[in-house]
Amino acid sequence: MCQHLLSARNKLAALVLSALPLLGHAQSTCLLVPVPLTQRSQQARLVVEARVASQQVESTAGGHLVTRSVLEVYKVFRGRLPAGPLSFVTPGGTLGLRREDVSSTLSVQAGQQGLFFLEADPTQPGELRAYAGPQGFIAYDLADLSASEPFGRYASIEGTLYDAVAAGTGTAYREVATNRGLRGATEQFRRRAAARALAIAAPTISDFSPKTTFAGTSTINTSNPNGVLTITGTGFGDTQGNGYVQFRNADNGGATYTKAVATDYLSWSDTQIQVRVPSYSQTGSPAGTGLFQVADNSGTLATSASPLTVTYALSNVNSDGLNYRIRLISPDASGGYTLQYSSSFPDAAKAPFERALQAWRSQAGVNRTVSSTPAPNDVTQLDDVNVLRFDPTLPAGVLGVTYSYYSGCAVNSGPLNWQAVETDYAYAPVPAANYTWNFATGAPTSQQYDFESVALHEQGHGAQLTHIISSVGVMNFALPNGTARRALDAATDLAAARNVVNYSTTATSTERCNAAPFRASATPLPVQLTAFGARYQAGQGTLLSWTTASETQSAAFVVESQDNPAVDDWRLVTRVAAAGTSTTPRQYQAHDTRPLAGTRYYRLRQLDLDGTVAFSPVASVSAVTTELVAYPNPATGLVHLSGPLAPGTTARVRLLDATGRCLAQMAGPTGQATFDLPLTGLAPGFYLLEWNGGTGPARTRLVVL
């Protein structure tokens, strides 16, 4: 009999050990390069199971804020404990009305527990830091006794995870104290399982609205209703108690969940919950697209029947448990931020960095420029210099980081106002062993990471955007090696940045703490595109059409396509000459004669006579398919399926492992040829999808990351 996917994960857990190292550099999560568990287990100075007992934010001699986490240690897998308390530091934190956020770094909260991989901090003598940044912590989920990290999930803490780490260190762990939290969670897990066996009533989600929303737009210092989710159902509980709402974690593509902070709950009753969709959650991660869950006071979960779409997420500052939006100001007194190259920034990297800067500036109004004057020092610190540098001390596996420094103020004991007073950008001199940067305009090879794509993503963090789960957005949580993602997506990246720009430019002097006002970039677009669409006709191909309202020195439009944004580069379809300069509307057409099965994505690359390049929003077109199509592939968290379907029938899909064993099965709505298959709890590896829509079986291979 074919089991449900969630119950099948225990059988798949044994594959984690072998699958994780084989991921190699297939994908970069949160702009990270995978560091195998074996490497972390062997190269970290200290590997311990522990709980974050307390935290304190400190200011370093170098002008940074760091968060010191004191650990309560339960087991030692490698190394020797110090004589006194064990603590380590992570970049960033809030100290009074100062806040520092650092992208692509580990964020842990008091009370969290898991496995910590620690090494000496080269930037602070005598201190420890997480080895490989975010990959230096494997977080425990005590609700289901699983554990997760950026590139993997372990179905059993005491089984799979312990065995995997012991295999890496070559020794068994040494217990130094009883992990009472884990022991209690194990008992609770058993009680919940017994309650389910007795069919004790569980909460149910009947509906939610809106279906598409944003994260971090509704905070304590705004009255914006956008970003508030209303959930209806039964059995939530008359009061919240220990209940919670948890969303897919956008920092790892939805592999885990992340919970809203206490102050984001606006109302709670037995039949309705209103909660802000957070970009700063209990784990610091933003909510992402996917199925969400509601837990009642006992911890019993209800899962939404359909996914919530989180279009974009804006960075927030969390102060005293409250989330606040951030405004851009003008530290350079010229409307925005002036950046300066340090001596470590190579000349080859300047052109791709500035192409990325121009994209945000011209398309979203993010007012940033690069000065001709070099930075006085090759350091990242709060010093009124927005520095650009290459930093050899970045942790293993980290491609680049953005340092955002914030300052806050309050008026008459009202809500705080927060401003981004400075941003620094640092990149790894070498992205990974045996890999290089691609600084050129051409596509990167499989042995390269694309610097312009990484710079574009990190500059998005500087514009106060955070991660999303998207197949087309630059702020997507992942970027594979050998792939270029250089076009800002209109619905996600550009809409988010314009939201921040509008929020900043409309601020009063009080709201920006009397700082100089931010002004949107006035750089005009060479082409004003008013429409772009695609229409497919069987046997003829795809007709693409677009309209411009005006053009200034335009040279040509290059039509490009992708079949699978997760793995494909954009490919040339055709080139169409532009009008040059025109003040009247112009209409254009192009034809792609290739057959279509499933969905294909198109964009325009607009070329100006002076060499300027701009990209259109992405248009998609779909066609009824005669074969099974799985998208994205490779996938994580969720895969979209499309296959042949006989009229009035119900499509059924089975997920098989390499031995042909059925791990999950699912039926779609009658008459619907497309639906989604959750991949929660599935170990990375190769699988086979089998589809039957009444026209005979169709099969395709699926890669799960």
Rounded distance between C-alpha atoms, residue 565 and residue 620, angstroms: 11
Minimum mean pLDDT range among 374-383, 567-576, 603-612, 669-678 = 669-678
Q: What does the pLDDT read at residue 418?
A: 96
Average pLDDT over residues 620-633: 75
Helix (H) or strand (E) holding 540: none
Q: What does the pLDDT read at residue 22?
A: 29
Look at 65 and 678; give whichever has higher pLDDT.
65
Average pLDDT over residues 638-649: 79
Look at 371 and 631; give whichever has higher pLDDT.
371
Confirm if 607 and 576 have CB atoms less than 8 A apart.
Answer: no
Query: Would the pLDDT of 5 be above 50?
Result: no
Q: Which fold has domain 32-196?
A: OB fold (Dihydrolipoamide Acetyltransferase, E2P) (2.40.50)
Q: Report the helix count and the strand count for the chain, using DSSP H and E.
A: 8, 45
Minimum mean pLDDT range among 155-164, 184-193, 236-245, 315-324 = 184-193
Q: What does the pLDDT read at residue 197?
A: 60
Choose which CATH entry (3.40.718.10, 3.30.470.20, 3.40.50.980, 2.70.50.50) describes domain 527-623.
2.70.50.50
Q: Which fold has domain 1-30+625-705?
A: Immunoglobulin-like (2.60.40)
Closest among 128, 127, 137 to 106, alpha carbons compared: 137
Location of each CATH 2.40.50 domain in the chain? 32-196
What is this structure's pTM? 0.72
Helix (H) or strand (E) holding 155: none
Closest among 426, 438, 532, 533 to 486, alpha carbons compared: 438
Average pLDDT over residues 327-340: 95
Location of each CATH 2.60.40.10 domain in the chain? 204-312
Q: How confident is the model at residue 198 (pLDDT cuts 50, 70, 90)?
A: low
Rounded distance between C-alpha atoms, residue 311 and residue 210, angstroms: 12
Query: Would the pLDDT of 16 be above 60?
Result: no
- Record the tokens describing residue 422, joined without a space: 């400075």
Phi and psi (nearest 5°) for 648?
A: 75, 10
Contacts with 184 (C-beta within 8 Å, 6 or more apart), sequence order: none
Q: How confident is the model at residue 672 (pLDDT cuts 50, 70, 90)?
A: low
Q: What does the pLDDT read at residue 570?
A: 81
Query: Would the pLDDT of 195 be above 90?
Result: no
Q: How confident is the model at residue 14 (pLDDT cuts 50, 70, 90)?
A: very low
Average pLDDT over residues 534-549: 83
Confirm if 215 and 464 have CB atoms less than 8 A apart.
Answer: no
Rounded distance between C-alpha atoms, residue 311 and residue 305, angstroms: 19
Assign domain 327-505 to its CATH superfamily.
Collagenase (Catalytic Domain) (3.40.390.10)
pLDDT digit string (tens) for 119-160? 999 999 999 999 999 999 999 988 889 999 988 889 899 989
Q: What does the pLDDT read at residue 12?
A: 32
pLDDT digit string (tens) for 270-291? 999 999 999 999 988 999 999 9
Choose which CATH entry (2.40.110.10, 2.30.110.10, 2.60.40.10, 2.30.30.40) describes domain 204-312.
2.60.40.10
Minimum mean pLDDT range among 11-25, 63-77, 333-347, 371-385 = 11-25
Average pLDDT over residues 189-197: 69
Q: What is the mean pLDDT of the chain?
A: 87
Q: What does the pLDDT read at residue 609?
A: 82
Share above pLDDT 90 across residues of the chain, in percent, rounded to a whole number? 60
Look at 196 and 329; give whichever has higher pLDDT.
329
Location of each CATH 3.40.390.10 domain in the chain? 327-505
Closest among 406, 421, 420, 424 to 342, alpha carbons compared: 424
Look at 186 and 629; give whichever has higher pLDDT.
186
Location of each CATH 2.70.50.50 domain in the chain? 527-623
Q: What does the pLDDT read at residue 11?
A: 33
Q: How confident is the model at residue 18 (pLDDT cuts 50, 70, 90)?
A: very low
Look at 569 and 391; give whichever has higher pLDDT.
391
Look at 693 and 396; give whichever has higher pLDDT.
396
Look at 18 and 324; give whichever has higher pLDDT.
324
Query: Would the pLDDT of 13 be above 70?
Result: no
Closest among 329, 314, 365 to 510, alpha carbons compared: 329
Q: How confident is the model at residue 255 (pLDDT cuts 50, 70, 90)?
A: confident
Q: What does the pLDDT read at residue 240?
A: 97
Average pLDDT over residues 63-71: 95
Location of each CATH 2.60.40.3080 domain in the chain? 1-30+625-705
Residue owning tokens 């884990």: 182
